[in-house]
Amino acid sequence: MEEVLLKLKNISVNYGGVKALDGVDIDLDEGELVALMGPNGAGKSTILKAVFGLAPIRSGDIFWRGEKISPVSYQMVKRGVSFVPQGRRVFANLNIKENLEMGGFAVKDKKIVSQRIKRILELFPDLKKKLKVKAGALSGGQQQMLAFARGLMADPKILLLDEPSLGLAPKIVKEVFAKIKEVNEQRKAAIIIVEHNIKSVLEVADRAYVLDKGKIVAEGATEKIARSNILEKVFMGKIKF
């Protein structure tokens, strides 16, 4: 049986007087690809931020390999967690190679950094051809791939991906999701992905959690979620609490 890497138990998060998460339970196993789905404001991105130490956890517990932890961003990086936020945040004035080096900032051995860059570029051949090009000159799809590649520089056990297809053309979306699946399978990296592109994310994820108003309203294998009408209900605002 695979080890549970990450467990969120009864997690609640408040922003001022607004309850962003209300008693959320989530498990993530080694090498698993899990989707977080639901309408805007459901709390999906807040879950990623809570795991990475960027959201104020009001109550509940987070466990890393069975050990209770209080997430702090730099400590989560050391544990092997990478967060790729939405909006293709790259260092526009740095070239591709320099962006990747920034992703490996926590690694003191430059030889290891170079080895990781070489290995990651094998996964991203389009970036390899443009190593000296400034990130700001790349297309939206290339910037997303670079943000994704930079997240791999920490050699993560878990990747937190927030809306990786946001603002991308359908053809590029397909390429991004193919790359996500490839990284999951080849590197055995567990992935939690927040995504509005329902069809694409259901095709690559193993399991999904559906959220509405800060609560989990459904959870299960993606085939089960796809067959149910729960997504239609939450997006149409038909869930009663």
Q: Is the pLDDT of residue 1 over 70?
A: no
pLDDT in tens, 20-51: 999 999 999 999 999 999 999 999 999 999 99
- Residue 82, token pair as written in the block: 């990478």
pLDDT in tens, 181-191: 999 998 889 99
Give the model's pLDDT for residue 86: 85
Q: Is 205 left (phi over 0), alpha (psi -120 to 50) or beta?
A: beta
* pLDDT higher than 60, residue 2: no
Over residues 113-123, the pLDDT tens digits come to 999 999 999 98
pLDDT tens digit sequence for 43-97: 999 999 999 999 999 999 999 999 999 999 989 998 999 999 887 789 999 999 9
Per the model's pLDDT, the better-predicted residue between 170 and 2 turns out to be 170
Contact in structure between 231 and 200 (CB atoms under 8 Å): no
> In this structure, are strands 33-37 and 57-64 parallel, antiparallel, or unpaired?
unpaired
Arithmetic mean of pLDDT, 94-119: 92
- Which residue type occupies 47? I
CATH of 4-235 given 3.40.50.300, 3.60.15.10, 3.40.640.10, 3.40.1010.10: 3.40.50.300
**What predicted TM-score, i.e. pTM, was given to this entire model?**
0.92
Give the pLDDT score at 88: 74
pLDDT recorded at residue 241: 64
- Report the pLDDT averaged over residues 6-31: 95
Please provide the DSSP assignment of 169-220 as one string: -HHHHHHHHHHHHHHHHHH--EEEEE-S-HHHHHHH-SEEEEEETTEEEEEE
The residue extents of the domains of the chain are 4-235
